[in-house]
Amino acid sequence: MSRRLGLLGGTFDPPHLGHLVVAECARVELGLDEVRLLVAGEPWMKGATVTSAADRLRLAEAAVSGDRHLRVDDREVRRDGPTFTADTLVELRAEEPDAELFFVLGEDAAAGLPRWERVEEAFAKATFVVVTRPGHAAPAADVLPAAVVHLEVPQLEVSSTELRRRFGAGLATRYLVPDAVDAAVRELGLYGAAATAP
Binding to ligand ATP, residues 90-109 (CB under 6 A): 105-106, 108-109
Query: 2-41 mask for ligand ATP (x: CB under 6 A)?
Result: ------x-xxx-----xx--x-------------------
Neighbours of 94 (CB within 10 A): 9
By the 8 A CB rule, do 62 and 178 touch? yes
Burial annotation 141-155 (CB, 10 A radius, 16+ → b, else e): eeebeeebeebebee
Site size toward ligand ATP (CB under 6 A) is: 18
- Does residue 63 touch ligand ATP according to CB under 6 A? no
Least distance from ligand ATP to the Cβ atom of residue 131, Å: 5
Q: Which of residues 156-195 bind ligand ATP (CB under 6 A)?
A: 156, 158-161
**CA angle at 26 for the pair 108 and 154, rounded to the nearest 5°:** 65
Least distance between ligand ATP and beta carbon 140 (Å): 17
Binding mask 129-148 for ligand ATP (x = CB under 6 A): --x-x---------------
Nearest CA to 3 out of 25, 29, 35, 26 is that of 35
CA distance linking residue 166 with residue 158, whole number of Å: 11
87 vs 139, beta carbon nearer ligand ATP: 139
* Closest to 188 measured CA to CA, from 20, 57, 78, 74: 57
Residues that bind ligand ATP (CB under 6 A): 8, 10-12, 18-19, 22, 105-106, 108-109, 131, 133, 156, 158-161
